[in-house]
Amino acid sequence: MQYGPDPNAIYPNEGIKSVCYIKNVVTRPNIIVGDYTYYDDKDGAESFEEHVTHHYDFIGDKLIIGKFCAIAKGIEFIMNGANHRMNSVTTYPFNIMGGGWEKATPALADLPLKGDTVIGNDVWIGQNVTIMPGIHIGDGAIIGANSVVTKDVPAYHIAGGNPCKILKKRFDDELIKHLLTIKWWDWPAEKIFEYLDVLCSGDLKKIMEIKL
């Protein structure tokens, strides 16, 4: 019996080439993506890595995205390589221009590095969103279209705008705590299939009845 699409397929639905599972198209070891997380872009969903910019091995930062995330067209993850030295007279990156200016290459310690960018599980990111370096977005969060995310977003909160601000919680604290406890995204495929009706129901009391 089939319990959902193949998580190792590039296109979960061969009839919809605009949607691909990101995990199966990334090549950089510093991009880590969970099962079933997809990017939706009719202009080339399989080119997700092009939307992760300024990402250099020598810096060492990672982009980590959880399972079951929905990422819309126009996403841009700006990584730490975009940062310029800020503790000197000028922010101009002389060193990358060559011609002898390499002597001004900054030490990593002189750059405002923000660490890894971490997106939780079951996160929905709308169209044309920009996420700045080192941002953490919690499980179940929603990011509105055209947002620029400059601060962390807690689990199960809705945020939007430029700069992105918290708009409201999706659920009350009790339900959020329960969802973070049962971690449905870590269930085996058979269990997710069994509880699909509950996971997709507007009757939130049903999910509260599910225990670990």
Q: Provide the annotated active-site residues.
A: 84
Calculate the dihedral angle through the C-alpha atoms of 184, 187, 193, 199, rounding to the nearest 10 degrees.
0
Both tokens assigned to 66: 């959880």
Q: How many Å apart are CA 61 and CA 130, to the nearest integer?
A: 17
In the chain, DSSP finds a helix count (H) and a strand count (E) of 4, 15
Task: Look at residues 148, 165, 166, 149 and name the one whose alpha carbon lies nearest to residue 157.
Answer: 166
